[in-house]
Amino acid sequence: MMDRLEARARELVGDSATVTREDPGSDVPWTLLLLRVSPANPGARSFDVVQLGDELVVQIGEVGGRWGLTVDADGTEFALLLLDACIAGRVHERFAPGRSAVTVWLANGETFTETGYEFPHFYPIPGWRHLGRRVAYEPYVDAESV
């Protein structure tokens, strides 16, 4: 699973990002793997994956943008689709105090949004998803430089 994600990331990013993988090995009594894709372009969004046992967590946003998946064929495929979208710059994030909502556009046009909240900012803020600061992340590589 993590091998496929790492191979795909390295294939897509080339020199446009740093791909790092950590495996604490026998220091922990369960499977723990970390994968981070850090773009050289400061306007692009990083992509992080943590595998903890049979669970997979993909993080794309600052607060929101956290997808909990299973380590199986479906979870792996969805993680690969999220990775592709992130590298291609098909990610927007909307911010408000203590929260953000991340929307990812897959290559087939489907969109997925995940919202996250930081403690103690669980109080309602009417209209924040429409009025909050919006960031459209850039692709890892500018299309003109390819």
Parse the chain into domains and list their residue ranges: 2-145
pLDDT in tens, 62-102: 999 999 999 999 999 999 999 999 999 999 999 999 999 99
pTM greater than the 0.75 cutoff: yes
Calculate Rg over the CA atoms of the chain. Answer: 16
If pLDDT is split at 50, 70 and 90, which confidence band does 146 have?
Answer: very low
pLDDT in tens, 120-133: 777 888 999 999 99
Q: What is the chain's length?
A: 146
Query: Half-sphere exposure of residue 44, counting CA atoms within 13 Å on the CB side?
Result: 22
If pLDDT is split at 50, 70 and 90, which confidence band does 25 have?
Answer: low
Place of tokens 């950590």: 22
If pLDDT is split at 50, 70 and 90, which confidence band does 32 have?
Answer: confident
